[in-house]
Structures are given as structure tokens and as C-alpha cells.
Structure 1
Amino acid sequence: MLDRREFLIAAGAATAASLTARLHAADVPAWPPYRNTIAIDGESGLFLFGSDADPTETPAELAAARASGLSAVLLSIGPNGRYWNNDAQFEKMKAQLARVRGIVSARPDAFRLIDTAADLQRAHADHQLGLIPRFQGSEPIGEDLDRVALFRTLGIRVVQITHNRRNLAGDGSTEPGNAGLSNFGHALIERLNHERVVVDLAHGSQRTMAEGIAASRAPVLISHTGCRALADLPRNTGDAELRAMAERGGVAGIIFWPYLRTDTQPMAIDVVRHIEHAIDVCGEDHVGIGTDGGIAPVARTPQFEASNRENVKAMVGDGIFEHGRPADLYMFIPDLNVANRFELLAGMLARRGHKDARIEKILGGNFARVFAEVWR
């Protein structure tokens, strides 16, 4: 059974049309440097890499990956808030990493696994989509910190400490207690630093993020988030935490989910607003993009619309969204629902007066800097 994020990625895999386009209501000028820019999505993926996907059924996704112009994505292997600490799930994570490696080996023209910073450059130069395997939640490590080294050997390069809920390491964003990092969480971050694995604090509670930033000796990511000053929601990051993260060299990726507003559906201008606020707080060296959606545009079929409404209803029930939000809330940005959304966003930023060098950092240069520093 697909989780809600996998549902969204699967919906993208269903379409082969409208891979690239201009914004429907705006005359967005082209941004000529895009195809020469390393662009990295701090949370994205393809249904192709899901545990139940059939690689022969996803040609639209391969076309979208090429059309996107992305150099790399942080690819969630799991657990996405779903798994507890048991041997079955430990083995499942190892099997899923092996499956990703197998797909990459079969399609070296399209994909490259990213082990080092140099691999990012190679993926970009060879027009491949680089894949940076990560855990979205530290549950696969269980209580055995030696698994950090094992999973690094198997390809994991980023570990998100928590998902929405509480785990052994700390509190996630939907936990009302806001208990922060546990003693184990502090030990986990120390071990991740030692093994040169990037610490990701996305989905953490406010206190977990603050304590994680302080605990890490290396720059951290908040890979997919919004600015709490603009939308006061638990999944967003406060200005104090953004400043502390930036002071230690980290990067926050702006999300494409409805956390960018507290009322209606976010649109492209809301993404820009959050990027610009983060620049004002953090500086241009500490802002990126983490869409938290599939690369392929979502096919808004009647079947999708019905399923999406059910998902929104369930998320309201889980406390992820507030009561009163639109029933047809989308976990993507409707006027950026194209594969080359980074290119369009770059054009919007350029039109608003942002210089090319700043845009290049936001599209992926800042993430690449952190990876080079931590993975060295």
C-alpha cells in the first residue's frame, strides 16, 4: 500500500504530457544559465524507485527526469514515519537500497548514484539524474549506532533524524510535547558526523531542530520546510532556528507543500515569498529547494482528484493539516506542476531582480557545498 507521499509520486508517473511548460498565467522569461546549473531537489523522487514499482511501466517518469534539468535529488528510501525498530524493516531498507542500485546499474544513461561530491559534477556533465539515498527518519538504525557505518557503505548519504512522530532520537513536528533530542539522538548525531553522513532536521519539532543544530559539528540540512514567520505551522522553521542553522553553514530547502500558507492553496508566488524571507533571515548561501514531490507533473485525472480528497481528509484527521483547509488541497504547486519547475522558478526569481549567482546557489549550489564539506 502506498503512503501519501508515494501516492503523489505515483500520480506523477501516470502522465506523459505537459512535461515542460510556462506558468499558465505569467510570462516567465527564460533563464539561460539553467541547463549549465547544478540543480538539486532536497526531497523528491520517482515512483520507479518505489518498492512495488515495475520499471517497465514508468516511461513518462524517465522523460520527466530528462525534462526536469535536475542534476540530483535526495531520494527517500524510507521509512517516512512508518516503521518501528525491528529486524524485518532493517532488512527491507537494505533490500530497497539494493533495488535502487540495480535500477541504476541497468540504466547508466539515465541515473547515477551519488557517493561523493565529484559524482554530482559527473551526473550534471553526463545529463544523468543523480540519486542521493537518504532515510526520512532514523528508525532503520534502531538502537545500533554501528548501522550508521553499514548504511553509509550501502549508499545512505543523508539521515533525517525524525519524521512527524516521536522516535528514539527525538520528537517530530506533530508531537505536542516538543521534547527535543533524546540522549540517543545526541549520540546518533555524533555518530553521523563521525561517519560523514549529512544530518537532516526536516520534520523535527522546534526544539529538536534547535538542539540538533547545536549538537552537530558539521553543517545540517532542513531539507524541506517553510518559514514559520510566514505560516505558523509545526512543519515550518522559525527564524531563530534558520539563523542558527546558517551560522553553522547549513541549508534549508523550501517545500512545495501547503505548509506555505495557513488558509488557501499555495502557488508559485508563495514559494518565492518563502525563499525571499529565508534569504533575508539566513543569507543567500543557506537557502535551497526541497519540493517533497515527484519529478513528473501530477496528472489531475478524476481518479486522482477523488484520491487526493481522501488523502487530505486523512491528513486533517492525523493533525498534519488544520480543519477548515480546502478539501482539494494539493501537495504540489499547481502553477509549477511541470517537470522543469526549477527552471520556471529561476525565471521568476530573475524577474524579481535576483542575480544569477544567487539563483544558482538556491537551485542547488548551496546543497552541493554542504555535501562537499560533509562527505569529504
Structure 2
Amino acid sequence: MRIDRRTMVLGGVAALAAAPGLARSRATAGPGWYDKAIVIDGLGGLADPYAPDGQLRLSDRAWADMVATGVTVLRDTVFPVGNLADPWGEYQKAVSGAQNIMAANPDRLILVRSAADILKAKRERKFGVVMGTQDSCMVGPELDRLAQLKKDGVMTVQLTYNNRNLSGDGALEPANAGLSKLGRATIERIEAEKLLLDLSHGGQRTMAEAAAQAKRPLVISHTAARALTDHPRNTDDATIKAVADKGGVTGVYFMPFLAADMKPSGEQLIAHIEHVARVAGEDHVGLGTDNGVLPLQFDEASKKKMDDWTRERIKLGIAAPGEAPGVYTMVEAYNSIDRYRRLAGDLAKRGWSEGRLEKLFGGNFLRVYKEAWGG
């Protein structure tokens, strides 16, 4: 299997007093709803930590673990990100590799191009994969390439990564210059192609201007609340609300940026989820872990791969503040195969009803996918 950050990334939370202002349902969730639900990770990683590098076929062990997670669909990333000499060429290699993985696992994986494909994955007990980019660098001024992305099976397009590209400023750009003229045209073409626009990694002004321009539902697939933790990868309340006002969804990640010390607790993850739910409304919050579907492995070889990858990100200038060797992209309390189930249980203890949990764990993303893509 290919290696990227989500390939490398793969104790419960104590019951807390309900957050002020967060509506509680009298009918909390009972056991059994999770297995029936559509569970969507709005941004994660398809990976097999047990297979040798380069193996396309999922190992039986990885497949068994993937089934055990209960996840129905995961959005996987088609690279590149950042300012490269030939981003289109790099994209072509990356999407070919992703297509080869799908072709090697027809009995296990479904390439998702519509909401109907998600329902099919659940019905057939397969794992749905949404392919998406985390940058528009491979498109640049050649907007016709967006039609080719869709033909390739790429269904979501993220406008920027952390740095500036031709569409706008990313989260790490100090100028915070917002959308470019090309960026506005790119959004129009993304929507015309019935692709899903993702604002993750955008600068504050870029995200605000993009949300204002959007005419269709959009997402911030993986972020957290800047009101709780002031980090450039987290999103301010006004933008979270603006995305909700367009019918979109903000996904909360399981990343170090949840906490100022880069060591987030389970309680902090829940605080961010509940804050976004309160600001956006329960119809506009989801989960986009930015983790691999399987838990992080802590053997020495795995830690070396993660640390080497972090050093490479720092060298390329795409690492966010706080990224460093030894800082791992996870919430330790939920670094387990059953993390989604346990998180659901912990939220149920806090009064979340089945209906609200079903929205958070996949229903809201499913709605936006259907509105963006059809089917």
C-alpha cells in the first residue's frame, strides 16, 4: 500500500457535565444504532499497516480490522500538495496509484461517485472510498482539468493547502490575502462540475471569501474550533457558521492541533465537537479525523516512518506550527480500532440522541454529498 501521512497515522473519555448552551435530548442513544448507521470519515486515509510497501491488495488482517471499525466510507487524499515543479504530473501518478488499489480490491472497496454508491457500500458490506484532493495546485489556471479529475473519480477538491497557491492563501500565509481572481473562477468551475468544494487548510480570509461566494453546499472536511485552541489550522466561529448557512458541514479532526500542547485528550476532542455543533447546528457538524482508518502503530519502524515524514514536511515548508518528530497525528484516547464506537458511546453518555449521533457520524456528510454530486 502507498505511504502518506494518513497511512502512518492510523481509554475512553470520562463523562463530563453538559456544555452550556448545548441542547440535550431526553432520549439518549442506545446500543445497536451504530452498526445500522452510515458512518463517514470526511477526511482520513486508506492504508494497510500490515502489508509490505507497494502491495496493492489489502491484507486479510487489515480488511478484518477495517470491517471492525464500522466505518462505511472514508475520503482518501489524491496528492500532491504544495508548490511543485510539475503538480499535474504528480497528480497523474497519484491518481493512477489510487485507481490501482481500487482495482486490486473489487470485492472489498467501492469507489464512491454518488450518494447511491455509499448506500451500496453499506448494503454490500464493502468499504466506500471517496477520492479527493487537498490542494488545487494540480489544476492551476487550467480549469478544464477539473472535468478530468471528475472522470478520474476525484469527487472533492480542496482549494488550498497550507501555503499560497494560484487560487488563494493557505492557513500558514502571514499576508492572509484571501481568494485570487483565479480562485473565484475555480470555485465556479468546481460547482459547475458538481464536485464538492473543501475549504480545509485555507487562510481565514480565503475561507471566509470562498464561503461567501459558494452557491452550493461545501465543507471544511477536517479542522477544529479556533475559539477553543488558537491554531492556524483551526477555524473561527464566523466561518463555521458561514459554511453552515450554505448548507455545508464542518468536520472535526483527531489531530494535535486540538490542544495548545499538541497532546489532545479525549475530553478536548469532545469539547471541539460540541463547540462546532453549537455554532453550526447539529445538521452541520461531522467527523474528518485526518487519521488512517486503522490505529497508529508504535513499533520502532512505524515511529521512524512518521518522524521521517514529518521532517520531510518541515523541509518542504508545508508543516503546520507544532509539527515535529515525536508529535503524532492522533488523539491517544481514541487510538484504537473501536474509536468511533467508543466516541459514540461517550457522546451518548453526555446526552446525545441516536438522531444527533447519526448526523454527526455520517448523516450530515451524506446529505452534502448527495446535494453536491447527485444520486
Could you state the TM-score of these two structures normalised by the residue count of structure 1? Answer: 0.87
CA distance in 2 between counterparts of 1:311 and 1:48 reads 17
AA in 2 matched with 1:283: G
Assess if the C-alpha contact under 8 Å between 1:286 and 1:366 holds in 2.
yes
CA distance in 2 between counterparts of 1:232 and 1:316 reads 21
Assess if the C-alpha contact under 8 Å between 1:73 and 1:130 holds in 2.
yes
Cα 1:116–1:311 change in 2 (3 A) is closer
Assess if the C-alpha contact under 8 Å between 1:8 and 1:298 holds in 2.
no
Equivalent of 1:166, from 164, 167, 177? 164
Cα 1:80–1:305 change in 2 (3 A) is same
CA distance in 2 between counterparts of 1:122 and 1:319 reads 37
Assess if the C-alpha contact under 8 Å between 1:11 and 1:304 holds in 2.
no
Equivalent of 2:254, from 253, 256, 270? 256
Assess if the C-alpha contact under 8 Å between 1:61 and 1:295 holds in 2.
no
Structure-1 residue corresponding to 2:24:
none
1:79 is displaced (CA, Å) by 1.5
1:373 is displaced (CA, Å) by 0.5
Cα 1:355–1:365 change in 2 (3 A) is same
Task: Output one character per residue of 1:25-57: Cα deviation in whole Å (capped at 9) or x when no partner.
Answer: 769x9842111110111111223599x631257
Structure-1 residue corresponding to 2:47:
47
> Normalized per residue, which structure has more helix?
1
Secondary structure of 1:133's aligned partner: strand
Q: Give the percent of matched residue pairs that are identical in Structure 1 and Structure 2.
A: 36
Structure-2 residue corresponding to 1:107:
105
1:322 is displaced (CA, Å) by 4.4
Assess if the C-alpha contact under 8 Å between 2:162 and 2:320 holds in 1.
no
Equivalent of 1:240, from 222, 238, 241? 238
1:59 is displaced (CA, Å) by 4.1
Which stretches in structure 2 are left out of the alignment for 5+ residues? 16-28
1:305 is displaced (CA, Å) by 3.9
Aligned-CA RMSD value: 2.8
Secondary structure of 1:136's aligned partner: coil
1:212 maps to 2:210:
yes
Structure-2 residue corresponding to 1:20:
none
1:216 is displaced (CA, Å) by 1.1
CA distance in 1 between counterparts of 2:361 and 2:218 reads 17
1:281 is displaced (CA, Å) by 0.5
Assess if the C-alpha contact under 8 Å between 2:248 and 2:368 holds in 1.
yes
Task: Output one character per residue of 1:129-175: Cα deviation in whole Å (capped at 9) or x when no partner.
Answer: 10111011001112111111111111111000000010010001011
AA in 1 matched with 2:84: Y
CA distance in 2 between counterparts of 1:33 and 1:329 reads 34
Question: Within 5 A, what are the aligned runs for 1:85-164?
Answer: 86=86, 89-164=87-162
CA distance in 2 between counterparts of 1:176 and 1:312 reads 22
1:34 maps to 2:34:
yes
Which stretches in structure 1 are left out of the alignment for 5+ residues? 13-22
Question: Within 5 A, what are the aligned runs for 1:1-376?
Answer: 6-10=4-8, 12=10, 23=11, 31-47=31-47, 53-56=54-57, 58-81=59-82, 83-84=84-85, 86=86, 89-306=87-304, 308=306, 318=317, 320-322=319-321, 328-376=326-374
Structure-2 residue corresponding to 1:15:
none
CA distance in 2 between counterparts of 1:57 and 1:278 reads 35
Assess if the C-alpha contact under 8 Å between 2:161 and 2:201 holds in 1.
yes
CA distance in 2 between counterparts of 1:267 and 1:296 reads 19
Secondary structure of 1:145's aligned partner: coil
Secondary structure of 1:141's aligned partner: coil
AA in 1 matched with 2:71: L
Stretch moving more, 183-192 or 120-129: 120-129
1:63 is displaced (CA, Å) by 2.5
Task: Output one character per residue of 1:71-104: Cα deviation in whole Å (capped at 9) or x when no partner.
Answer: 11111011233635x3xx4244234333333332
CA distance in 1 between counterparts of 2:366 and 2:127 reads 14
CA distance in 2 between counterparts of 1:152 and 1:124 reads 23
Assess if the C-alpha contact under 8 Å between 2:256 and 2:329 holds in 1.
yes
Task: Output one character per residue of 1:227-281: Cα deviation in whole Å (capped at 9) or x when no partner.
Answer: 0000011101000111111111110000111110112500222111101000110
AA in 2 matched with 1:205: G
AA in 1 matched with 2:162: N
Assess if the C-alpha contact under 8 Å between 1:168 and 1:185 holds in 2.
yes
CA distance in 2 between counterparts of 1:162 and 1:332 reads 23
CA distance in 2 between counterparts of 1:361 and 1:181 reads 31
CA distance in 1 between counterparts of 2:258 and 2:169 reads 22
Task: Output one character per residue of 1:312-362: Cα deviation in whole Å (capped at 9) or x when no partner.
Answer: 677678584546x89633211111111232111111110110111001000
Task: Output one character per residue of 1:200-223: Cα deviation in whole Å (capped at 9) or x when no partner.
Answer: 000000001001101111111000
CA distance in 1 between counterparts of 2:326 and 2:289 reads 19
Runs of 4 or more off by more than 6 Å in structure 1? 313-317
CA distance in 2 between counterparts of 1:31 and 1:228 reads 33
AA in 2 matched with 1:67: A
Could you state the TM-score of these two structures normalised by the residue count of structure 2? Answer: 0.87
Cα 1:287–1:57 change in 2 (3 A) is closer
Count of aligned pairs: 359
Cα 1:319–1:169 change in 2 (3 A) is closer
Secondary structure of 2:356's aligned partner: helix
Assess if the C-alpha contact under 8 Å between 1:309 and 1:328 holds in 2.
yes
1:128 is displaced (CA, Å) by 1.0
